[in-house]
A and B are shown apart, each in its own frame.
Chain A
């Protein structure tokens, strides 16, 4: 996206991206807040990238009704919260949390799947306060989804 004063030109193939609520498979045993946080993290990363003219939640209508819309949908297929105590006390990858998501990039008009992939991320605590919350595993995953989105939708 290029900005000239008040005029904004978006060069993306899909200038508008709609992010569906990420659900979890029952066997993934992911608490519901993980799916919600992942959805919000993906929306935040897409907005911060400034590559897209509009980022929508599922159900929202774009300002420009003619704009091409891509939909990002995903399912959490595996989740392990790890152990915060282990991340804090031991470190070096002990007690890390893990998440795997099956994500799809879809042309909203035709329903055609542009790309689908299984993405995994791990969180070892890093510089987080006392080992960090397991839900922070979605931050890194959202970055990976953004990278795929940029490759597919720009």
Chain B
């Protein structure tokens, strides 16, 4: 009877230890994203508010969209609508650098009050990580899309693509973006 009680207690302890270890692993995995975005499910990285500068015909030019990276594809959505699914196998290369764009909305808003303020606001640029993706569309067309995302998500995105087997290059003229601890999918055996 005592042996049976001991056995039950040790089984109970094992379950508690397993739960605790699982929780620690989960927290460790979420660590790199604690300050910004949360990963979507297991093995995914979601980046909200990615600015599509130009390139992909399926995405509105100069608008924000959400980007979800899994171990096989990049999915671009606006609201609940999936605009573009880009399998990593169709991507020829990605180029990572830094980009900037005008703060036009802010400048126009300031311009309602002061013309000098508007001009000053026009000299201010929004700096962001820039990721250019060269891919082959189903029609066979070679397309380059240019994305901008808040720092340090460009580095996280690049790291993810690299681990998925996509060729990633650094823009020659720009400074390198910071690389976060995004885990990315497991590296391919030939990498």
Contacts and interface: CB of A to CB of B under 8 A. Distances in A.
Given A83-B123, A130-B118, A60 B140 contact: yes
A27 B111 CA distance: 36
A59 B55 contact: no
A107 interface: no
Given A31-B130, A84-B122, A89-B119, A21 B54 contact: no
Contacts of A39: 144
A133 interface: yes
Interface stretch (B21-29, B79-87, B99-107, B151-159): B99-107
A57 B143 contact: yes
Contacts of A57: 141-143
A130 B108 contact: yes
Nearest to A32: B132
A58 B137 CA distance: 11
A84 B107 CA distance: 11
Interface in B126-171: 130, 132, 134, 136, 139-146, 171
B173 A26 contact: yes
A49 to B, nearest CB: 20
A112 interface: no
B53 A33 contact: yes
A26 B108 contact: no
Given A32-B95, A32-B130, A84-B102, A130 B107 contact: yes
B142 A36 contact: no
B55 A36 contact: yes
Given A31-B130, A33-B53, A36-B54, A21 B144 contact: yes
Nearest to A21: B144
Interface in A24-53: 26-27, 29, 31-33, 35-37, 39-40
A27 B99 CA distance: 16
Given A32-B171, A33-B53, A61 B122 contact: no
B172 interface: yes
Contact of A88 (B53, B122, B143, B146): B122
B102 A133 contact: yes
A85 interface: yes
A68 B26 CA distance: 59
Most chain A CB within a 10 A radius of its CB, from B108, B134, B140: B140
A85 B122 contact: yes
Given A59-B140, A84-B102, A37 B108 contact: no
A26 B172 CA distance: 6
10 contacts: A35-B144, A36-B55, A36-B132, A39-B144, A59-B140, A59-B142, A84-B122, A88-B118, A129-B104, A130-B107
Closest 9 CB pairs of A and B: A57-B141, A85-B122, A26-B172, A59-B142, A32-B132, A33-B146, A89-B119, A58-B142, A33-B53
Interface of B: 53-55, 95, 97, 99-100, 102, 104, 107-108, 111, 118-120, 122-123, 130, 132, 134, 136, 139-146, 171-173
